[in-house]
Structure 1
Amino acid sequence: MTEYKHSLGMLALLVSSPPDKRTVFGRALDQLVHDVEGRGVSVLASESLTDAASILRSDPAVQCVLIRWEMDTSEGHADCIKLLVKLRERNTRVPVFLISDRTTASSIPLLVMQHADDFIWLPEDTSRFLSGRILAAIERYRQAALPPMFGALVKFARTYEYSWHTPGHAGGTAFLKSTAGRAFYEFFGENLLRSDLSISVGELGSLLDHSGPIGQGERYAAKVFGAHRTYYVTNGSSMSNRVILMASVTRNQIALCDRNCHKSAEHAMTLSGAIPTYLVPTRNRYGIIGPILPQTLSAEGVKAAIANNPLVKKGIDPTPVHAIVTNSTYDGLTYNVTRVEDLLGESVDRLHFDEAWYGYARFNPLYTGRHAMHGNPADHDKSKPTVFATQSTHKLLAALSQASMIHVRDGRNPIEHARFNESYMMHASTSPNYAIMASCDVSSAMMEAPSGQILTSESIEEAISFRQVLSRMHSEMLSKDNWFFTCWQPPTVQVGAATVPFHEVDPVTLKTDPNCWVLHPNAVWHGFGDIEEGYCMLDPIKVSVLSPGMGDDGNLLASGIPACVVTAYLGRQGIVVEKTTDFTILFLFSIGITKGKWGTLLNALLDFKRDYDDNAELELCLPDLYNAHQQRYAGMGLKDLADEIFAAMKKHKTTANMSQAFGTLPQAEFSPVEAYEKLVRNDIELVTLDQAAGRLAATGIVPYPPGIPLLMPGENAGPADGPLLAYLKALEAFDKSFPGFTHDTHGIEVEDGVYRMLVLK
Structure 2
Amino acid sequence: MNDQHHGEAAPSRALTEGGTGLSRIGDYYSATQLRADRWSSLRDIAEELRLHGAEGRRGRKRLTEAEELIDALAPIESYWAFPGASAFAYMRRLLEQRKIHDFSQAVRRAARALISGAYRRRTIQLTVEDTENEDFQDEIALSPDARALGRPYFEVLIVDDLNDHQERWLRQSLQQVRRPEDAFVYEAVIVPSLEDALIGILFNHNVQAVVVRPGLTLKSLNDVEILNKYLRRASEDEDVDGLHPDEYGPETCRLVHKIRPELDTYLVTDRSAETIAAMDLGGCRRVFYNQEDFLELHLNILRGVNSRFKSPFFTALKEYSKQPTGVFHAMPISRGKSISRSHWIQDMGAFYGPNIFLAETSATSGGLDSLLEPRGPIKKAQEYAARAFGSKQTFFATNGTSTCNKIVVQALIRPGDIVLVDRDCHKSHHYGMVLAGANVVYMDSYPLHQHSMYGAVPMREIKHKLLELKADDKLDRVRMVLLTNCTFDGLIYNVERVMEECLAIKKDLVFLWDEAWFAFARFNPAFRQRTAMANAANLRQTLRTPERKREWEAQQERLKDADDETLLNTRLIAPPDARVRVYATQSTHKTLTSLRQGSMIHVYDQDFKGETEQAFHEAYMTHTSTSPNYQIIASLDVGRRQVELEGYEFVQRQIESAMSLRRAIGTHPLLCKYFKVLTLADMIPAEYRESGVESYYDSKRGWQDSWDNWATDEFVLDPTKVTLAVGGTGWDGDTFKTQILMDKHGIQINKTSRNSVLFMTNIGTTRSSIAYLIEVLVSIARDLDDLLDDASKMERRSFDARVKSLVEQVPPLPDFSRFHPAFRGGQTPEGDIRSAFFLAYDEDNCDYLDLDQALREKLDSGEELVSASFIIPYPPGFPILVPGQVISREILTFMRALDVSEIHGYRPDLGLRVFTSEALARVENAKS
| TM-score for the superposition, normalised by structure 1 | 0.71
Corresponding residue for residue 526 of structure 1 = none
Deviation at 1:490, TM superposition (A): 4.5
Corresponding residue for residue 457 of structure 2 = 292
Contact 1:459 1:591 in 2 (8 A): yes
Task: Tell whether 2:775 aligns with 1:603.
Answer: yes
* Aligned partner letter, 1:201: S
Corresponding residue for residue 631 of structure 2 = 435
Farther off after superposition, 355-364 or 152-161: 152-161
Contact 2:720 2:760 in 1 (8 A): yes
* Aligned partner letter, 2:903: T
Query: Structure 2 CA distance, aligned partners of 1:636 and 1:702?
Result: 39
Contact 1:95 1:116 in 2 (8 A): no
Deviations 1:596-634 (A, max 9, x none): 11211111111221222222899xxxxxxxxxxxxxxxx
Corresponding residue for residue 515 of structure 2 = 355
Change (3 A) 1:378 1:337: closer
Q: Secondary structure at the match of 1:255?
A: strand
Deviation at 1:397, TM superposition (A): 1.1
Corresponding residue for residue 570 of structure 1 = 741
Query: Which segments of 5 or more consecutive residues in structure 2 lack a partner in the other structure?
Result: 1-81, 84-106, 131-149, 157-164, 187-301, 542-576, 683-688, 824-831, 920-928
Deviation at 1:517, TM superposition (A): 7.1
Contact 2:446 2:458 in 1 (8 A): yes
Corresponding residue for residue 94 of structure 1 = 153
Same amino acid, percent of matched pairs: 26
Query: Structure 1 CA distance, aligned partners of 2:761 and 2:516?
Result: 15
Change (3 A) 1:166 1:287: same
Query: Which segments of 5 or more consecutive residues in structure 1 lack a partner in the other structure?
Result: 1-13, 16-45, 74-90, 98-105, 121-129, 309-313, 519-532, 550-558, 619-634, 735-741
Query: Structure 2 CA distance, aligned partners of 1:257 and 1:616?
Result: 47
* Aligned partner letter, 2:457: I
Query: Structure 1 CA distance, aligned partners of 2:169 and 2:681?
Result: 48
Deviation at 1:337, TM superposition (A): 0.7
* Aligned partner letter, 1:515: D
Query: Structure 1 CA distance, aligned partners of 2:717 and 2:629?
Result: 35
Change (3 A) 1:113 1:466: farther
Corresponding residue for residue 877 of structure 2 = 707
Corresponding residue for residue 88 of structure 1 = none
Task: Tell whether 2:777 aligns with 1:656.
Answer: no
Query: Structure 2 CA distance, aligned partners of 1:407 and 1:611?
Result: 48
Farther off after superposition, 199-208 or 271-280: 199-208
* Aligned partner letter, 2:707: P
Task: Tell whether 2:713 aligns with 1:534.
Answer: yes
Deviation at 1:416, TM superposition (A): 4.0
Query: Structure 2 CA distance, aligned partners of 1:67 and 1:111?
Result: 21
Corresponding residue for residue 54 of structure 1 = 115
Deviation at 1:679, TM superposition (A): 3.2
Q: Please point out which of 675, 680, 684 is paired with 2:841.
A: 680
What does residue range 212-223 of structure 1 map to in structure 2 within 5 Å? 212-223=376-387
Q: Secondary structure at the match of 2:334?
A: coil
Contact 1:668 1:715 in 2 (8 A): no
What does residue range 381-392 of structure 1 map to in structure 2 within 5 Å? 381=541, 383-392=578-587
Q: Please point out which of 529, 533, 537 is paired with 1:373.
A: 533
Deviation at 1:301, TM superposition (A): 3.6
Corresponding residue for residue 329 of structure 1 = 487
Contact 1:218 1:232 in 2 (8 A): yes
What does residue range 321-720 of structure 1 map to in structure 2 within 5 Å? 321-345=479-503, 346-347=505-506, 348-374=508-534, 377=537, 380-381=540-541, 383-411=578-606, 415-449=611-645, 451-473=646-668, 476=669, 483-490=673-680, 502-503=698-699, 510=705, 513-515=706-708, 534-548=713-727, 562-567=732-737, 568-571=739-742, 572-615=744-787, 642-643=799-800, 645-646=802-803, 653=809, 655-657=810-812, 659=813, 661-662=814-815, 664-665=817-818, 667=820, 669-670=822-823, 671-682=832-843, 683-689=845-851, 690-692=853-855, 694-718=864-888
Query: Structure 2 CA distance, aligned partners of 1:579 and 1:593?
Result: 17
Corresponding residue for residue 725 of structure 1 = 892
Deviation at 1:504, TM superposition (A): 5.9
Contact 2:690 2:714 in 1 (8 A): no
Query: Structure 2 CA distance, aligned partners of 1:72 and 1:145?
Result: 38
Q: Secondary structure at the match of 2:519?
A: coil
Contact 2:865 2:914 in 1 (8 A): no
Deviation at 1:488, TM superposition (A): 0.7
Contact 1:487 1:543 in 2 (8 A): yes
Contact 2:151 2:183 in 1 (8 A): no
Deviations 1:11-30 (A, max 9, x none): xxx99xxxxxxxxxxxxxxx
* Aligned partner letter, 1:711: L
What does residue range 137-216 of structure 1 map to in structure 2 within 5 Å? 145-216=309-380
Deviation at 1:190, TM superposition (A): 1.5
Contact 1:561 1:642 in 2 (8 A): no
Deviation at 1:199, TM superposition (A): 4.2
Change (3 A) 1:212 1:640: farther
* Aligned partner letter, 1:489: T
Corresponding residue for residue 436 of structure 2 = 272
Contact 2:418 2:477 in 1 (8 A): yes
Deviations 1:250-293 (A, max 9, x none): 11111111112111001111111011111211112312322211
Query: Structure 2 CA distance, aligned partners of 1:256 and 1:680?
Result: 26
* Aligned partner letter, 2:757: I
Q: Secondary structure at the match of 1:712?
A: coil
Deviation at 1:546, TM superposition (A): 1.4
Change (3 A) 1:143 1:534: closer
Query: Structure 2 CA distance, aligned partners of 1:364 and 1:238?
Result: 26
Contact 1:232 1:406 in 2 (8 A): yes
Change (3 A) 1:327 1:379: closer
Corresponding residue for residue 168 of structure 2 = 109
| TM-score for the superposition, normalised by structure 2 | 0.59
Corresponding residue for residue 626 of structure 1 = none
Contact 1:356 1:393 in 2 (8 A): yes
Change (3 A) 1:650 1:404: closer
Query: Structure 2 CA distance, aligned partners of 1:341 and 1:223?
Result: 22
Deviation at 1:317, TM superposition (A): 7.1
Aligned residues: 608
Corresponding residue for residue 137 of structure 2 = none
Farther off after superposition, 485-494 or 537-546: 485-494
Q: Secondary structure at the match of 2:454?
A: coil
Q: Secondary structure at the match of 1:656?
A: coil
Farther off after superposition, 685-694 or 536-545: 685-694
Change (3 A) 1:611 1:675: same
Q: Please point out which of 218, 235, 239 is paired with 2:403.
A: 239
Farther off after superposition, 635-644 or 668-677: 635-644
Query: Structure 2 CA distance, aligned partners of 1:359 and 1:161?
Result: 37
Change (3 A) 1:496 1:172: same
Query: Structure 2 CA distance, aligned partners of 1:569 and 1:723?
Result: 32
* Aligned partner letter, 1:207: L
Deviation at 1:643, TM superposition (A): 4.4
Deviations 1:686-718 (A, max 9, x none): 443244553322221111222211011121223
Corresponding residue for residue 3 of structure 1 = none
Query: Structure 2 CA distance, aligned partners of 1:758 and 1:496?
Result: 45
What does residue range 32-47 of structure 1 map to in structure 2 within 5 Å? none
Deviation at 1:307, TM superposition (A): 6.8
